[in-house]
């Protein structure tokens, strides 16, 4: 009887130790798993933080690139304006533009453009738009007419009237398809659609810029915007 009781006690103690061993092992496994989950959570937070920082850097790069494009465009405009001024001088000397009307002298095309452009630079967008519009009504065939229409779009863009700005940018490719402004006009159209939350149309135009003007700086900006669209979809 004593032996039976001793054996029973032995088995009870043995299985009890096994149970505690299993509990301890499971506890260690659970603790290890919990540590892994915590590490994964930290990595996820770190990834999101890095992603946000990357988005900020991309946005900043796009702003710099946009400013670079604007500077190039301004330089090209000045060249076109110089060519127009030379033409204006020839016309003045030929007495074909300088005419007297109600004791006032008509300004030359380049002077009229410069007045509108100066108002655009100081943020008088509504006034500048009307002045560019007047310029176009008189000199639609001028060398700097594409620039005037482009800046009409810019005036509307700066005022947040993106749907109307798109219509102005479209005129560049429609009426001046050989103009160097076509890629810039397309880019601004895409940005307008982006502001209007029409991502599908913006994506299509960005893609067309990359396809049709791969060597232009506008293509770089289009690529970055497309990357941002794709990152948003996969996030």
How far apart, in whole angstroms, are the C-alpha atoms of residue 219 and residue 187? 9
The mean per-residue pLDDT over the stretch 12-29 comes to: 48
How far apart, in whole angstroms, are the C-alpha atoms of residue 183 and residue 164? 19
CATH 1.25.40.10 fits 62-234, yes or no: yes
Confidence bin at 73 (pLDDT 50/70/90): low
Determine the 3-state secondary structure of 181 from DSSP. coil
**Do the Cβ atoms of 162 and 196 come closer than 8 Å?**
yes
End-to-end CA distance of the chain: 72
Determine the 3-state secondary structure of 164 from DSSP. helix
Residue 14's pLDDT is 46
Question: 222-235 pLDDT, tens per residue?
Answer: 999 999 887 776 65
For the chain, which residues make up each domain, given as ranges? Answer: 62-234
To the question of pTM greater than 0.75 for the whole model, the response is no
Average pLDDT, the chain: 75
**Do the Cβ atoms of 80 and 143 come closer than 8 Å?**
yes
Residue 102's pLDDT is 43
Q: Of 13-27, 59-73, 155-169, give the lowest mean pLDDT range.
A: 13-27
Residue 233's pLDDT is 62
**Do the Cβ atoms of 187 and 156 come closer than 8 Å?**
no
Strand partners, 100: 105
Question: 166-210 pLDDT, tens per residue?
Answer: 999 999 999 999 999 999 999 999 999 999 999 999 999 999 999
Residue 86 CB-half CA count within 13 A:
6
Higher confidence at residue 49 or residue 87?
49
The mean per-residue pLDDT over the stretch 120-145 comes to: 95
Residue 47's pLDDT is 54
What is the residue whose two structure tokens read 């160097």? 180
């Amino acid at each position: 009887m004593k032996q039976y009781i001793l054996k029973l006690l032995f088995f009870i103690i043995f299985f009890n130790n096994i149970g505690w061993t299993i509990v301890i092992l499971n506890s260690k496994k659970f603790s290890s798993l919990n540590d892994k989950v915590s590490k994964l959570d930290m990595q996820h937070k770190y990834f999101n933080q890095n992603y946000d920082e990357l988005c900020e850097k991309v946005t900043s790069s796009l702003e710099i690139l946009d400013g670079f494009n604007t500077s190039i465009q301004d330089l090209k405009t000045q060249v076109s304006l110089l060519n127009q001024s030379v033409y204006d001088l020839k016309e003045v000397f030929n007495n074909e533009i300088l005419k007297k009307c109600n004791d006032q002298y008509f300004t030359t095309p380049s002077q009229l453009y410069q007045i509108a452009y100066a108002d655009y630079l100081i943020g008088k967008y509504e006034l500048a738009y009307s002045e560019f519009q007047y310029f176009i009504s008189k000199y639609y065939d001028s060398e700097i007419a594409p620039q005037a229409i482009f800046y009409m779009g810019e005036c509307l863009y700066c005022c947040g009237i993106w749907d109307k700005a798109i219509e102005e940018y479209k005129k560049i490719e429609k009426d001046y398809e050989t103009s160097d402004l076509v890629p810039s006009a397309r880019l601004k159209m895409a940005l307008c659609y982006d502001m209007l939350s029409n991502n599908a149309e913006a994506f299509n135009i960005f893609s067309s810029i990359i396809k049709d003007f791969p060597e232009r700086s506008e293509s770089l900006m289009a690529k970055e915007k497309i990357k941002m669209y794709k990152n948003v979809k996969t996030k």
